[in-house]
Amino acid sequence: MDSATVGKATALGTAVLLSLLAVPAHAAPLEPEPDLAGLRGVLSTAMKQGAPGAVARVDNHGSVAKTSAGIADRTTRRALATTDRFRIGSVTKTFSAVVLLQLADEGKLKLDAPVNRYLPGLLPDDRITVRHVLSHRSGLYDYTNDMFTKTVPGFEAVRSKVFTYRQLVDRSLRKPRTTAPGGAYRYSNTNFVVAGMLIEELTGNPVGIEYQNRIFGPLELADTFYVHPGMKIPGRHARGYLTPDTSGPLVDATEQTASWAQSAGAVISSARDLNTFLSALLGGRLTSAAQLAQMRKWVPAGSGQAYGLGLRRRDLSCGVSVYGHTGAVQGFYTYAFASKDGGRSLAAFVNTSNNGAVHTTMLGTLESAFCGKQAKQTKAPRGSSVGERSEAADPGAAVR
């Protein structure tokens, strides 16, 4: 064997050895470890800004890091636990989208078909498709904008009411549409009320049964419930406190029908269950690869954000993107995101809402969980307030 051949063989052998050892010559930087101290700092700051309590849990390729601070109940002063159940608000939208994508897998639904094909006469424009609804590009006005113009009075007016889906859609249709079908992203709870109607029409079952049979049961989500129109959170849970628009004491908003939200925001869960759900979804265990790819067809949705089909992408300071949803319902803010393959997931919540400073601070849990100590610290705007309107409620553009 001549020297050139030996050289080629040696180079090839080295390449094979490096491959076997999983040590490439130019290795990509390792994924940063979650910063638990950073998470604790975020929770502490949120409490100083008015949250009675806060929780964060990171599931990271088989290991778990979790922390909590503050109280679950302002009357009994019970400490908030990482296992407490809570209302997840618009994270519900991801559950609803998964059910519809499963129905697409089963051939019962086409994403680019008009909604009116399945719900004849519901919408005033046959051009509005299922995809437009799931990506907030239908132009359907968000009825919650009017419902919660005044946060506490608006909530008290609907706390015990039971709405039909049709009543909620009718509230939307009284207003002009915000964009043409397929136009720019415009967040609207009406879209996921329509999603709930589609689920019930195509399956013949209430959405709660479909959630249970398709997601809660198969994933063994023991803390996850859809109790509408029941008003109570089952089992051990955090109480949720609504911040008034102006001065005044926090309002205990724990008990409500959440009928104004339903398939847009009425699910109850825990941090563990949310991480299990997102890991399964992004790991490809809930839909086909083709439907998951549809879910990740992004449209711009604000600075550093994009929206797919019931799924949000947030781009973090360290260059990492995470996938999931935020949620707000009276008394609770929720943050549920995972890495692209679902290997690392974060679920965090505070038991207050309508507090812009707390919300902005809690977004820092994503930085600590996925960027580790590389995270850039962000300051909450002083004196900011966030209304219970847009994200079941998704309060304002920042929370969506």
d(CA 282, CA 21): 28
Residue 97 predicted with pLDDT over 90? yes
Q: Which residues pair with 353 in a beta bridge?
A: 242
At residue 216 the predicted structure's pLDDT band, cuts being 50, 70 and 90, is very high
Is residue 47 within 8 Å of residue 241, measured between CB atoms? no
How many percent of the chain have pLDDT more than 90? 85
Reported residue count of the chain is: 400
Q: Which of 28-32, 107-111, 168-172, 180-184 has the lowest mean pLDDT?
A: 28-32
How many percent of the chain have pLDDT more than 70? 86
Is residue 224 within 8 Å of residue 273, measured between CB atoms? yes
Question: Phi-psi category of 179—alpha, beta or left, where left has phi over 0 and alpha has psi -120 to 50?
Answer: beta
Which amino acid would we find at residue 119? L
Residue 382 predicted with pLDDT over 50? no
pLDDT of residue 374: 76
- CB neighbours of 286 closer than 8 A, spacing ≥ 6? 98, 102, 214, 215, 280
Rg of the chain over CA atoms, in angstroms?
A: 22
d(CA 375, CA 337): 16
| pTM for this entry | 0.89
Helix orientation angle between 271-282 and 92-105, rounded to the nearest 10 degrees: 30
Residue 205 has phi, psi (to 5 degrees) of: -120, 155
Neighbours of 146 (CB within 10 A): 14
Residue 398 predicted with pLDDT over 90? no
Q: Which of 136-140, 194-198, 380-384 has the lowest mean pLDDT?
A: 380-384
User: What's the token pair of residue 212?
Assistant: 């249970």
Residue 275 predicted with pLDDT over 90? yes
The catalytic site residues sit at 90
At residue 206 the predicted structure's pLDDT band, cuts being 50, 70 and 90, is very high
Residue 15 predicted with pLDDT over 50? no
Which strand (E) or helix (H) includes residue 39? Answer: helix 36-48
Return the half-sphere exposure (C-beta side, CA atoms, 13 A cut-off) of residue 197.
25
CATH architecture of the domain 36-371 equals 3-Layer(aba) Sandwich (3.40)
Q: For the chain, what is the mean pLDDT? A: 89
Q: Of 5, 14, 214, give the one whose Cα is nearest residue 106.
A: 214
pLDDT of residue 247: 86
pLDDT of residue 397: 33
pLDDT per position as a tens digit, 342-360: 999 999 999 999 999 999 9
pLDDT of residue 377: 56
